[in-house]
Structure 1
């Protein structure tokens, strides 16, 4: 049964999985029905349009006046050479946003991306083919590599570069693929909550998690413009049906602690049913439980520390009321069942 609430459920679980080289998954859940696609779709668009990357924006080739020219001793025409150049993925090694790099090659030689790597520039796909020149060739060219986002067509760059350069279409985005899936997940007795599974693949200029961070930052920056006309109070902890699902261990039975019979029976008689009750107790409260001996006290304290929730866990103080209410509800459900 759906409950009446005054705020949307706040997802509590997020996981990152490294699937392979430059491929990662980001998983977040549970979202209210319909919220997953509301969050996922704009993030996917921002991954493509707002992730920072590098690209050549202009080229100057000695002896060449336009892109339909040819170079003596080079197998490829200039147009094909430029296409191959665009397929190389550049990365500026330092903090610079723009670099001008000169290259000179003598044949015979097959030129690949690795031949363009130097102290300033790294080619992240070094095996990519660029051109083949014979013994008569003397290939000299200069490229401008810049840092940017998205895609900028050459027409918009022509007024920005010197006349002796040819402007290039600039494909800055390092994200090769960004897709998401939405699955249903069960929260208590409601199967209609949703999970987002992002799969992000980059070209190696940056990692997929950095790309995801760029997209999130872009989203926050765009939304922050409304802060000038409205004052939004975003609570640190939003109440949700799962009630702090990131601490799901606290809602497990004390039976899962594998305590000795003496210790377990003592807790059972005191109506301590859940691990969270122990984590929220102060040590003096635990000592005051009827018939709990020193040996049992030390056993409970030791096991609680092992699972990461020592008795009286201070990090839970701000959520104590919320957690105790959840535990009370669970006890009620158990007794009614």
Structure 2
């Protein structure tokens, strides 16, 4: 029996392009002819869809009723602030079982960056210098947000006309709006805006397949390029992708009796009368047939002995 050659992973190149971009170049092989394309496509899909990550999933900004409003003393609009918050790359030391709460409270003037976020102790920003907004002397930001873990992409509709109607109806017709010292309206109810979150830590995957014909038998090798967002190393991402594939295909190993089940079902369909006959009845009928056969054999032997006896008596009388 020929032994199978082990598949090896060799790192060709690995570099940190910037704080939010890790790059690695690997070689996988050898594979039999035709197998490498299946493995490479499966790895690429698993890297881009199955890996888990951490990101900001919901934001609540004080004094904001919809994402198209503007804040006094803030250069960016609310929509631009939401986009900047969504682009912040986070990493966590363990998987979050439920959304974690974070805050951002800043008084202008100044530049707001990711290092001013108040996060749980086990969550960190990959790039602390990532830009969020710019405040003037009379500007301030008071933001509450939730950090969630997940896989893939989460697409949400931040604000619809129906939600706006429900939000306006929260204040009754006889209630008066709260007014500040200068007469402006101060809303106590702030809108919770869900974000279109991308939890995938892998940004891009490329692969190339080469055939090595100088060996005794031609073999294929996979050359894999992986770019991550800095929250995970490409080698760890590749390990997690392979683990996800093993978990996906493991239940198929338990299906070992498909052929027997299919044969039994075909037999029941072809001979339906066998379903109503129990095994004990079949065994008893076989014993009865064997008993009748033995009785018939003994009867035939007795008749043969009687004929011989009659023949001998007749022969004696003639003589």
Provide TM-score, normalisation by structure 2.
0.64
Structure 2: unaligned runs, 5 residues or longer? 17-21, 164-188, 259-319
Partner Cα distance (2:209, 2:118) in 1: 41
Cα pair 2:159 2:193 within 8 Å, conserved: no
User: Is the alpha carbon distance of 1:60 and 1:42 closer, same or farther for their aligned partners in structure 2, counting shifts above 3 Å?
Assistant: same
Alignment of 1:62-141 (within 5 A): 62-97=62-97, 98-116=99-117, 118=119, 119-141=121-143
Partner Cα distance (1:133, 1:201) in 2: 34
What is the SS of the residue equivalent to 2:74?
A: coil
* Counterpart selection for 2:195 from 130, 151, 168: 168
- Deviation of the 1:120 alpha carbon: 4.5
* Alignment of 1:214 onto 2:209: no
Partner of 2:284: none
Partner Cα distance (2:74, 2:114) in 1: 16
Partner of 2:14: 19
Structure 1: unaligned runs, 5 residues or longer? 1-5, 233-337
Alignment of 1:1-337 (within 5 A): 10-21=5-16, 22-97=22-97, 98-116=99-117, 118=119, 119-155=121-157, 164-186=191-213, 188-190=215-217, 192-230=218-256
User: Is the alpha carbon distance of 1:165 and 1:8 closer, same or farther for their aligned partners in structure 2, counting shifts above 3 Å?
Assistant: farther
Cα pair 1:9 1:31 within 8 Å, conserved: no
- Deviation of the 1:164 alpha carbon: 4.0
User: Is the alpha carbon distance of 1:78 and 1:144 closer, same or farther for their aligned partners in structure 2, counting shifts above 3 Å?
Assistant: same
Partner Cα distance (1:62, 1:76) in 2: 15
Q: Which has the higher contact order (CA 8 A, sep 6+)?
A: 2
What is the SS of the residue equivalent to 2:213?
A: strand
Partner Cα distance (1:208, 1:197) in 2: 14
- Deviation of the 1:75 alpha carbon: 0.5
Cα pair 2:36 2:222 within 8 Å, conserved: yes
Aligned residues between the structures:
224
- Deviation of the 1:187 alpha carbon: 5.4
Provide TM-score, normalisation by structure 1.
0.61
Backbone CA RMSD of aligned residues: 2.8
